[in-house]
């Protein structure tokens, strides 16, 4: 499961907790703080928990930073983390900071819940459909952006994308990663979700397999559609599938929720998210009879997100 659930001594309540940390992956410290916080909270949201009672922040400051760099960058990261926590209706009340050769950033999210406030991830049934609430391709976008300064890498992809394409994709990835999955978590209750997980480091297929493995029923997941940040599929192909984006193995950071929903509710779920947040979700696959594994069909349909590029607009 994405969070641990501990029944408390006190009647009918459970402690739902999760922790996560990673290395910086964008060059804007404020956005890095927001992305980290969104990523930590995502594990609660994947369980349908919409209200976090408390957060802690885990920070390791690199000993390679000068005092000046540290004094400027660390408070900005902390502000990003704190602002995202407040956006999620929670607060950061403590944590731990250490010095380390590497910079890492993460946190802990805790919620005290009644049993109707979380959704166990193991109730998918044959006939359900799979919905994804954010596009794939964050790892490809972040790497391509770093390659702008590495001529030997840039030469591999410059035939399929322009510098502008890469900068825009990076912005899209950054804002997508910083976006909370809270609305999706709330709507999981409204539309009777049968289980969910968030798509992060193991990629779409890795997390789909993890979700399939824990199902009570003998089901399998089949994925037909891959919504991908515009132009990232072309980059992935130009690199000889270095990232495994179309195979579902490309790591994501703070990705969307992958939700198993009753077929008749899924379109309304997607429409509701778009109405509330202005962002698309996609029906990407089905739940069929199977042996608790997930697979992507041989030639999945790649959905470019957004379908049309508009000047001055990200999505």
User: What is the structure's pLDDT at 49?
Assistant: 98
Asked if pLDDT for residue 162 goes beyond 90, the answer is yes
Instruction: Point out which residues pair with 141 in neighbouring strands.
Output: none
User: What is the structure's pLDDT at 309?
Assistant: 84
Taking the C-alpha atoms of residue 266 and residue 270, their distance in angstroms, rounded to an integer, is: 6
Quick count: other Cβ atoms within 10 Å of Cβ 95? 15
Better-scored residue on pLDDT, 309 or 197: 197
State pLDDT tens for residues 168-206.
Answer: 999 999 999 999 999 999 999 999 999 999 999 999 999
Mean pLDDT of all residues in 128-157: 96
User: What is the structure's pLDDT at 222?
Assistant: 98
Q: For residues 48 and 114, is the Cβ–Cβ distance under 8 A? A: no
Quick count: other Cβ atoms within 10 Å of Cβ 68? 8
For the chain, what is the mean pLDDT?
A: 96
- Counting every residue written for the chain, the total comes to 315
Q: Is 208 helix (H, G, I), strand (E, B) or coil?
A: helix
Taking the C-alpha atoms of residue 37 and residue 256, their distance in angstroms, rounded to an integer, is: 14
Residues 6+ apart with CB under 8 A from 86: none
Taking the C-alpha atoms of residue 69 and residue 175, their distance in angstroms, rounded to an integer, is: 24
Chain mean position to CA 70: 28
Taking the C-alpha atoms of residue 140 and residue 152, their distance in angstroms, rounded to an integer, is: 16
Q: Sorting pLDDT into bands at 50, 70 and 90, what band is 310? A: confident
Better-scored residue on pLDDT, 310 or 117: 117
State pLDDT tens for residues 239-287.
Answer: 988 899 999 999 999 999 999 999 999 999 999 999 999 999 999 999 9
Taking the C-alpha atoms of residue 170 and residue 26, their distance in angstroms, rounded to an integer, is: 9
Q: Is 243 helix (H, G, I), strand (E, B) or coil?
A: coil
pTM: 0.96
State pLDDT tens for residues 200-228.
Answer: 999 999 999 999 999 999 999 999 999 99
Mean pLDDT of all residues in 117-129: 97
Q: Any long-range contacts for 161-167 (C-beta under 8 Å, 24+ apart)?
A: 161/231, 161/234, 161/235, 165/230, 165/231, 166/141, 166/231
Mean pLDDT of all residues in 121-125: 98
Asked if pLDDT for residue 312 goes beyond 80, the answer is no
Q: In this structure, what DSSP letter does residue 132 have?
A: E
User: What is the structure's pLDDT at 306?
Assistant: 92
Taking the C-alpha atoms of residue 60 and residue 74, their distance in angstroms, rounded to an integer, is: 10
Q: Which two tokens stand for residue 76?
A: 């900005």
User: What is the structure's pLDDT at 308?
Assistant: 85
Q: Sorting pLDDT into bands at 50, 70 and 90, what band is 314? A: confident
Taking the C-alpha atoms of residue 17 and residue 107, their distance in angstroms, rounded to an integer, is: 11
Taking the C-alpha atoms of residue 86 and residue 11, their distance in angstroms, rounded to an integer, is: 29
State pLDDT tens for residues 70-114.
Answer: 999 999 999 999 999 999 999 999 999 999 999 999 999 999 999
């Amino acid at each position: 499961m994405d969070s641990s659930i501990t029944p408390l001594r006190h009647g009918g309540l459970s402690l739902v907790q999760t922790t996560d940390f990673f290395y910086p992956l964008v060059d804007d410290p404020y956005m890095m703080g927001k992305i980290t916080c969104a990523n930590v909270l995502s594990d609660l949201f994947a369980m349908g928990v919409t209200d976090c009672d408390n957060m802690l922040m885990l920070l390791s400051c690199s000993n390679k930073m000068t005092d000046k760099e540290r004094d400027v960058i660390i408070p900005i990261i902390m502000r990003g983390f704190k602002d995202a926590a407040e956006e999620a209706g929670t607060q950061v009340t403590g944590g731990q900071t250490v010095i380390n050769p590497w910079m890492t950033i993460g946190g802990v999210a805790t919620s005290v819940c009644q049993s109707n406030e979380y959704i166990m991830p193991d109730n998918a049934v044959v006939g359900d459909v799979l919905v994804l609430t954010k596009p794939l391709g964050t790892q490809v976008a972040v790497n391509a952006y770093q390659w702008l300064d590495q001529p030997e890498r840039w030469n591999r992809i410059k035939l399929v994308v322009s510098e502008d394409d890469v900068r825009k994709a990076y912005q899209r990835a950054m804002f997508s990663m910083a976006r909370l999955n809270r609305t999706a978590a709330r709507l999981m209750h409204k539309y009777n979700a049968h289980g969910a997980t968030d798509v992060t480091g193991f990629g779409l297929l890795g997390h789909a397999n993890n979700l399939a493995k824990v199902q009570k029923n003998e089901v399998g997941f089949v994925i037909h559609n891959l919504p991908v940040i515009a132009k990232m599929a072309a980059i992935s192909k130009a690199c000889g599938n270095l990232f495994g984006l179309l195979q579902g193995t490309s790591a994501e950071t703070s990705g969307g929720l992958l939700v198993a929903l009753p077929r008749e509710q899924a379109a309304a779920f997607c429409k509701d998210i778009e109405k509330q947040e202005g962002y698309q979700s996609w029906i990407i696959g089905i739940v069929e009879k199977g042996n608790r594994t997930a697979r992507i069909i041989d030639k999945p349909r790649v959905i470019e997100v957004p379908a049309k590029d508009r000047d001055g607009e990200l999505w």
